[in-house]
């Protein structure tokens, strides 16, 4: 049986692989989990011995098939819990990440399925992140790009918002920047600030570089002539 910490590592590696589509460096895992690099190295040795990660010295790690299956199950639990907490227990979307982190390791498969049934088998969580299916097949990678990659005048739709920073999530929600909302890019400053008009709030919102980096959007909408 795996410990909660081992599952946290596998989930972090899975998410980093999805973000960068390459082998994951020790330093990236350390930053994601807020631990030291020697601590990561020690844990990767244990995960490697159990056949859950493939390690290459100086080249980082990837998940094995078995490791990916474990990670997908934890991710499914986490994102279903986020959706349930938001929809049925009136949690704010800025609160659910930490709560789901605490619960994801401790629910049964029967409980997981009951949650999925109660939600109508959702495909994304409240932040727009894809939920792995019950058969634990990796979900398709979203097409979204950072809002910082678009230009003034582009019209885009928010696809996904990173869920790890409650303050960022609260700021975005207060300014009408959530999955499904259309944004018109008004200004892109040289230092990374993006100003956009939200279709939800019908107001301009300033997204500092550190905030804008958390917002992924779909390509510009086609304008009908």
* Digit-coded pLDDT (tens) for 120-178: 999 999 999 999 999 999 888 777 889 999 999 999 999 999 887 888 899 998 999 99
Which of 93, 85, 95 minimizes the C-alpha distance to 115?
85
| Residue 12 to residue 97: CA distance in whole angstroms | 14
- What per-residue confidence (pLDDT) applies to 104? 97
Rounded to 5 degrees, what are φ and ψ at 8? Answer: -60, -40
Ordered domains of the chain (ranges, CATH): 4-63 (1.10.10.10), 145-218 (2.30.30.90)
- The token pair that represents 54 in the structure block: 């493939």
pTM score of the predicted model: 0.89
Instruction: Collapse the DSSP code of 50 into the 3-class scheme (helix H, G, I; strand E, B; otherwise coil) and give the result.
Output: coil
Alpha helices in the chain (DSSP H): 4-20, 26-33, 37-49, 65-88, 96-103, 109-119, 166-174, 209-212
pLDDT tens, 206-224? 999 888 888 999 986 554 4
């Amino acid at each position: 049986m795996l410990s909660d910490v081992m599952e946290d590592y596998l989930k972090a590696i899975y998410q980093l692989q999805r973000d960068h589509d390459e082998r994951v460096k020790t330093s990236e895992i350390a930053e994601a989990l807020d631990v030291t690099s020697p601590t990561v190295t020690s844990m990767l040795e244990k995960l490697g011995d159990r056949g859950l990660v493939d390690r290459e010295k100086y080249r980082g790690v990837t998940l094995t098939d078995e490791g990916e299956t474990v990670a997908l199950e934890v991710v499914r639990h986490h994102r279903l819990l986020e959706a349930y907490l938001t929809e049925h227990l009136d949690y704010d979307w800025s609160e659910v990440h930490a709560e789901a982190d605490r619960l994801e390791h401790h629910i049964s498969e029967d409980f997981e399925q009951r949650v999925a049934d109660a939600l109508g088998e959702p495909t994304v969580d409240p932040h727009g992140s894809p939920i792995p299916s019950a058969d634990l097949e990796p979900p398709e990678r979203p097409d979204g790009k950072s809002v910082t990659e678009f230009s003034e005048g582009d019209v885009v739709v928010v696809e996904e918002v990173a869920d790890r920073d409650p303050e960022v999530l609260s700021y975005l929600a207060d300014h009408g920047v959530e999955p499904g909302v259309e944004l018109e890019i008004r200004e892109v400053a040289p230092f990374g600030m993006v100003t956009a008009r939200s279709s939800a709030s019908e107001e301009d919102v300033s997204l500092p570089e550190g905030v804008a980096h958390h917002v992924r959007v779909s390509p510009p909408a086609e304008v009908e002539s």
